[in-house]
Amino acid sequence: MTAGVLSLDHVSKSFGPVRAVSDVTFEVRTGEVIALVGENGAGKSTLLKMLSGVHAPDSGRILIDGEAVTIASPARAARLGIAVIYQELSLIPWLSVAQNLFLGREREIGRFVLPQRRLREKARAILSRLDTDIDPGRPVATLGVAAQQMVEIARALSKNARFILMDEPTASLAAHETDVLFERIAALKSQGVGVVYISHRLEEIHRIADRIGVLRDGALVHTGPVGDKSIPEIVELMVGRPIGDHYPSRVPNPGAEVLRVEPAPAMATESKPVVVRAGEVVGIAGLVGAGRTEWLWRLFGASPGLGERVLLDGAPVTIDSPARARALGIGMVPESRKEHGLVFGRSITDNATITILERLRGLGGLLDRRRQIETADQFVKRLRVRCRDAFAAVDGLSGGNQQKVVLAKWLARECSVLLLDEPTRGIDVGAKHEMYTLINELCAAGKAILLVSSDMPELIAMSDRIYVMAKGRLVAEFAAREATQRDILLHASGLERNAA
């Protein structure tokens, strides 16, 4: 592959009054990895979208190997050797891996539409460049998130991309899957591909990137070799002010047992009961696909139980619907906030208070608009939602800011048990800090909190105790102070049991 460089020269882009990207000059060379960081709404995705033909810059130039180019469409970007991997994967679930790899290009790779067998051979050759043994004949729907991401990367490679742009690729990966992705990125780099990599997980950046670019309010406020800046320095560049301890401390003060979930009798020897006390944060660790989300959904009454016995304040309860869960004082922040998330076309205020409208109704059932606005405002400020004001529609918010509004919506509801599924996924470092402070406050107020997170440092720092789930079973329990990432992973991957 010939050496090359993709550059932005004084590029700007506005959406109405919002200057999303402001006079950015920046380049990525083949064979290097650049990490692009910044708070939610800083302009990271917009920058990638200009390089991939989704948005046209208002001003400035994009150059490839020094020549100005116009990237009017994603197809054009692909022909220029630029591929993007968006956070929401874009594969078609019921088609095979091979079909997805060459979707819409079956004719390009041969004069006629190729038979499935030839397609699979070609697919296997590309997948082998990524060192994966994914079966090209498998339907994509049967693959886990991490494997699907590999297929996306393989698709980028199959188009002979010289530059691969990744928008938060590790957001939904567990630690060991992230390791695999990083190995692949290193392999791409050595094959001469230039990679731009967006992430809110700052501790990853020193592992993977050669250079770093920091965006703040649309402007590139820093670029340089990644080793030149520590994480606190990067945070300060992103936020514009120093942030104290990333994980605010909490004095553990657990009270009475609030929630107990006992496994179905048939699983009692393989799976541990889960106990959460008042004023306690209990973490659940596991690999992607371990069944943590399903377990939470069953507890919340949204999918049928598997014979688990649930006790609240010592009394057995039957939770057969989310309405019942809510009536019992159980609240949930779901993982897939897209699906369970926002009403588009409506304001931030309406969305953030949608779960508590009943409580905001005064005499005669009239909505107390002032209280509604106050409540929404409070969350917008705390979670640092970047917006014109709380009356703006949620549609124009950046990905992370939309997440924050969904969080606000679920947090606004008061409850005694709170189930949090990946609550900080996709939100920036400042908002994460606020989220942790909020969790500590809820905890101090005596709530029982269950936290599912694939961000292992976060899980260890924020939990009092940690259970590890593997294949739908709770296989181990640790005091968080004693848990190491390594121990947790050994149990999560089932290696511990084999070793014993």
Ligand X SMILES: Nc1ncnc2c1ncn2[C@@H]1O[C@H](COP(=O)(O)OP(=O)(O)OP(=O)(O)O)[C@@H](O)[C@H]1O
Instruction: Point out which residues bind ligand X (CB under 6 A).
Output: 15, 18, 20, 38, 40-46, 386, 396-401, 428
Pairing of strands 280-286, 448-452: parallel
Decide if residue 399 touches Mg ion (CB under 5 A).
yes
Rounded Cα distance between 180 and 188, Å, is 12
Rounded Cα distance between 170 and 287, Å, is 13
Query: In the range 31-60, which residues lie near Mg ion by CB under 5 A?
Result: 45
Give the CA angle between residues 436, 387, 34 to the nearest 5°.
Answer: 70
Tokens of 431: 């908002």
For residues 44 and 159, which CB has a smaller minimum distance to ligand X in the complex? 44
Residue 43 partner contact from Mg ion, ligand X, none using kind-dependent CB cut-offs of 5 to 8 Å: ligand X
Rounded Cα distance between 332 and 325, Å, is 9
For residues 314 and 345, which CB has a smaller minimum distance to ligand X in the complex? 345
The count of residues interacting with Mg ion (CB under 5 A) is 2
Residue 312 partner contact from ligand X, Mg ion, none using kind-dependent CB cut-offs of 5 to 8 Å: none
For residues 136 and 399, which CB has a smaller minimum distance to Mg ion in the complex? 399
Residues in the chain: 500
CB of 397 to ligand X, least distance (A): 5
Question: Rounded to 10 degrees, what is the CA torsion of 85, 91, 97, 98?
Answer: -80
CB of 288 to ligand X, least distance (A): 21
| Site pattern 355..384 for Mg ion (x: CB under 5 A) | ------------------------------
CB of 387 to ligand X, least distance (A): 7
Give the CA angle between residues 116, 118, 123 to the nearest 5°.
Answer: 90
CB of 395 to Mg ion, least distance (A): 14
Tokens of 88: 């929401």
Residue 286 partner contact from ligand X, Mg ion, none using kind-dependent CB cut-offs of 5 to 8 Å: none
CB of 336 to ligand X, least distance (A): 17
List of E strands, 125-225: 163-167, 194-198, 211-216, 219-225
Tokens of 490: 């050994």
Rounded Cα distance between 199 and 404, Å, is 17
CA distances from 133 to 8, 116, 119, 128, 464 (A): 37, 18, 16, 7, 38
Residue 397 partner contact from Mg ion, ligand X, none using kind-dependent CB cut-offs of 5 to 8 Å: ligand X
For residues 44 and 229, which CB has a smaller minimum distance to ligand X in the complex? 44
For residues 140 and 376, which CB has a smaller minimum distance to ligand X in the complex? 376
For residues 31 and 38, which CB has a smaller minimum distance to ligand X in the complex? 38
CB of 77 to ligand X, least distance (A): 17
Q: Strands across the sheet with 82-85, in order? A: 82-85, 163-167, 194-198, 33-38, 211-216, 219-225
Rounded Cα distance between 245 and 361, Å, is 40
CB of 485 to ligand X, least distance (A): 25
Which part of the chain contacts Mg ion (CB under 5 A), choosing from 53-61, 128-136, 380-388, 392-400?
392-400
Residue 353 partner contact from ligand X, Mg ion, none using kind-dependent CB cut-offs of 5 to 8 Å: none
The residues of the shown chain that bind Mg ion, judged by CB under 5 A, are 45, 399
